[in-house]
Amino acid sequence: MDALHAAGIRFAEVLQSGPPWLEKFWISVTSLADPKCVFTICFPLAYFLDRKVGVSVLWIGLVSEWLNVVLKWFLFGERPFWWVHESGFASKELVTLRQFPVSCETGPGDPSGHCMITGAALWPLVTALTALASRRSRSLAVKLSPFGAYALLLLAVGLSRVFVLAHFPHQVVGGILAGAALGWGLQGRTPATRTLGFFVAAALALLLGSLALHSLVIAAGIDIDW
């Protein structure tokens, strides 16, 4: 893993060596792609366009947020900002990295929550836009444009997380793949016809489930809050 982490640090150095305007771009992307934006921006927008799509975005966002926390408890995952010092890498080799206000994230980093949750929650919106484009145009480029924008967005989000030293590249790739797979898998299982009470009960079940799982892992002697 140390070799993989070292390669990630070098990649982050390359990203940070870009022009100043690109720095502002990466920081803006990582801020706008915060998982909470799924609930404050993406869900209301999707719900306005189509109720079923909106509920799907909300449901998948909820499940992927929970699953990301659970995965991090078991996969752990170092954070570049901390690893470069704690591992002694910075004392052995010359490292030219800059710190940003969003660099000092704590807790496990694998997989990337920004990539996983955003990728999962946007999947139903992207597929809905693709279906709409297919009905309106015969052009293959127009039909594929929503998924093209989706892929470019996730790539930009992933690079921005590496740029600010919040994640290693392999954590970003894992988050993107997990998010796309989760979005694809859950889209057809959205409980769109359920009442509000179902979603309240589901949220409560996820909360209690995570607390119980946390207690069991701690009781087993695994320090997931390292």
Catalytic residue numbers read 114, 167
By C-alpha distance, which of 174, 163, 190, 203 is closest to 53?
Answer: 190
For the chain, how long is the longest CA-to-CA vector?
59
Q: List CB contacts of 91: < 8 A, sequence separation 6 or more.
A: none
| Inter-CA distances, 170 with 3, 15, 157, Å | 12, 15, 14
Q: How far, in Å, CA of 63 to CA of 203, rounded?
A: 9
| Inter-CA distances, 136 with 22, 129, 140, 145, 179, Å | 35, 11, 11, 13, 28
Neighbours of 40 (CB within 10 A): 10
Cα angle vertex 121, ends 37, 187, to 5°?
155
- Backbone angles phi and psi of 102, in degrees to 5: -100, 10
Please check whether residue 167 is in contact with residue 79, taking contact to mean a CB–CB distance below 8 angstroms. Answer: yes
As given in the structure block, the two tokens for residue 187 are 């889209």
